[in-house]
């Protein structure tokens, strides 16, 4: 049991309907999708199609064939960046990016000679959209940004950045790993050309699920080639979507769970989920203010961040705090650099990282109270 506060890594628990969908698929369907014409295979096709449709409703995508399934946000970001960028292209990104954006960009810088500008964010992780507009050059092909930092929770001004990008004819790639399901995302309203999302965090799906929305008119080089079920006579990968980017047997079992996760979100409403996370985050932040010896990073304002709160206790290393929370209080959190070293440089914690609390829709005020009490005790002992 215990108190799970690591939802920024992956959400837990999932809605009951997600467990039921995975179980039902494994027991009663079990077949591959896009491969057979017998009734059970068609049932698998139906599950995959229904999931694409549900995601389309969530993200405001009309042509759902332009949503392709991947294993996670990392694969989606690799497909978008490696499929799009060519020698001489310039990319603008931020200093709060996850390694899932930063490492592919570094590789492309090295191998394809692309140029990268990381616009510096403030100490609380916030980004001035004008700084992004000022960084655009005639050869800028793409702005690649996280929607919210997985270190501080800071929400970046995607609407304004999208507008500036559109005005300059530059594409916008959004890393929605920390926001899909808990913040409203409409690809049309926000001017998003490529939307990378993961299935196992805010969308409540199983691990091994994710996807990429690719706006009409954008052609990416596939990351992989292989069987697609149809057009097997072709020697090359088919051109039409989603097959062009979905080589190999899909994770239909995971997608069945993801489908139920997205349906759960559509039924609850993203706004309600966001309100609950804001309530928990605001409550936590306010309670932390009263504890001597704790430094909190980020905007410290639930309106400006998702349910991610990073902190340190003076005199105690983050991994020791996380260890005591687990061993003595059964509270699960993450410590260290959270796969985003640039973000830690930005907020001044590159030397030790932070203790990160990832609050989720299923957490309660009582669980936050327990975390606050535990932190107060650890901080008091450290000072004595
Ligand atoms: C901001 C951000 N981008 C990308 C990722 C990568 O997601 P995944 O591990 O599901 O590929 C994460 C996950 O921690 C993240 O927080």
Distance 207 CA to ligand 1 centre (A): 12
Identify whether residues 166 and 253 lie together within a single domain: yes
Q: Give the structural domain span for 101.
A: 16-268
Identify whether residues 177 and 254 lie together within a single domain: yes
Determine whether the shortest distance from the Cβ of 144 to ligand 1 is under 6 A: no
Identify whether residues 259 and 282 lie together within a single domain: no
Task: Please state, in angstroms and rounded to a whole number, the distance separating the CA atoms of residues 125 and 308.
Answer: 12
Q: What is the pLDDT along the chain (384 residues), one digit of tens a residue?
A: 899 999 999 999 999 999 999 999 999 998 989 888 898 889 999 999 999 999 999 999 999 999 999 999 999 999 999 999 999 999 999 999 999 999 999 999 999 999 999 999 999 999 999 999 999 999 999 999 999 999 999 999 999 999 999 999 999 999 999 999 999 999 999 999 999 999 999 999 999 999 999 999 999 999 999 988 888 888 899 999 999 999 999 999 999 999 999 999 999 999 999 999 999 999 999 999 989 999 999 999 999 999 999 999 999 999 999 999 999 999 999 999 989 999 999 999 999 999 999 999 999 999 999 999 999 999 999 988
Last-in-domain residue among 237, 268, 299 = 268
Determine whether the shortest distance from the Cβ of 179 to ligand 1 is under 6 A: no
SS3 content of the chain, % helix, strand, coil (to 5): 40, 15, 40
Task: Please state, in angstroms and rounded to a whole number, the distance separating the CA atoms of residues 239 and 366.
Answer: 52
Identify whether residues 8 and 81 lie together within a single domain: no
Non-local (6+) Cβ contacts of 62 within 8 A are 56
Identify whether residues 232 and 277 lie together within a single domain: no
Determine whether the shortest distance from the Cβ of 203 to ligand 1 is under 6 A: no
Q: Which residues are catalytic?
A: 339
For residue 253 the two structure tokens come to: 């079992």
Centre a 10 Å sphere on the Cβ of residue 373 and count the other Cβ atoms it contains: 14
Last-in-domain residue among 233, 268, 303 = 268
Q: Model-level pTM?
A: 0.97
Atom in ligand 1 nearest the alpha carbon of residue 147: 1
Determine whether the shortest distance from the Cβ of 150 to ligand 1 is under 6 A: yes
Distance 358 CA to ligand 1 centre (A): 13
């Amino acid at each position: 049991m215990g108190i799970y506060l690591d939802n920024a890594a992956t959400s837990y628990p999932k809605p009951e309907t997600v467990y039921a969908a995975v179980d039902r698929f494994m027991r009663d369907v079990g077949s591959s999708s896009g491969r057979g014409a017998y009734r059970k295979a068609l049932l698998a096709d139906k599950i995959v199609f229904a999931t694409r449709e549900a995601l389309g409703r969530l993200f405001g995508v009309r042509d759902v064939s332009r949503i392709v399934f991947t294993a996670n946000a990392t694969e989606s970001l690799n497909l978008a960046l490696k499929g799009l960028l060519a020698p001489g292209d310039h990319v603008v990104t931020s200093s709060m990016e996850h390694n899932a954006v930063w490492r592919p960009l570094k590789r492309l810088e090295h191998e394809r000679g692309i140029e990268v500008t990381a616009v510096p964010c403030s100490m609380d992780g916030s980004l001035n959209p004008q700084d992004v507009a000022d960084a655009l050059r005639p050869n800028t092909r793409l702005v690649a940004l996280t929607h919210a930092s997985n270190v501080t929770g800071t929400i970046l001004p995607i609407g304004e950045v999208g507008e500036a990008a559109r005005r300059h004819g530059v594409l916008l790639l959004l890393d929605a790993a920390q926001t899909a399901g808990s913040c409203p995302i409409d690809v049309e309203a926000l001017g998003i050309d490529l939307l990378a999302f993961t299935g196992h965090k805010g969308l409540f799906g199983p691990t091994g699920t994710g996807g990429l929305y690719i706006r009409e008119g954008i052609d990416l080089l596939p990351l992989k080639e292989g069987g697609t079920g149809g057009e097997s006579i072709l020697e090359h990968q088919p051109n039409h979507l989603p097959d062009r980017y979905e080589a190999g047997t899909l994770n239909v079992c995971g997608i069945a769970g993801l489908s139920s996760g997205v349906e759960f979100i559509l039924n609850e409403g993203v706004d309600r989920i966001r309100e609950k996370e804001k309530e928990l985050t605001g409550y936590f932040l306010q309670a932390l203010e009263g504890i001597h010896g704790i430094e909190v990073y980020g905007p410290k304002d639930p309106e400006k961040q998702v349910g991610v709160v990073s902190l340190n206790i003076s005199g105690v290393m983050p991994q020791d705090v996380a260890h005591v929370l687990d061993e003595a209080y059964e509270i699960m959190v993450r410590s260290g650099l959270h796969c985003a070293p640039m973000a830690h440089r930005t907020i001044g914690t590159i030397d030790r990282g932070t203790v990160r609390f990832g609050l989720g829709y299923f957490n309660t005020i009582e669980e936050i109270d327990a975390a606050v009490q535990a932190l107060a005790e650890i901080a008091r002992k450290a000072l004595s």
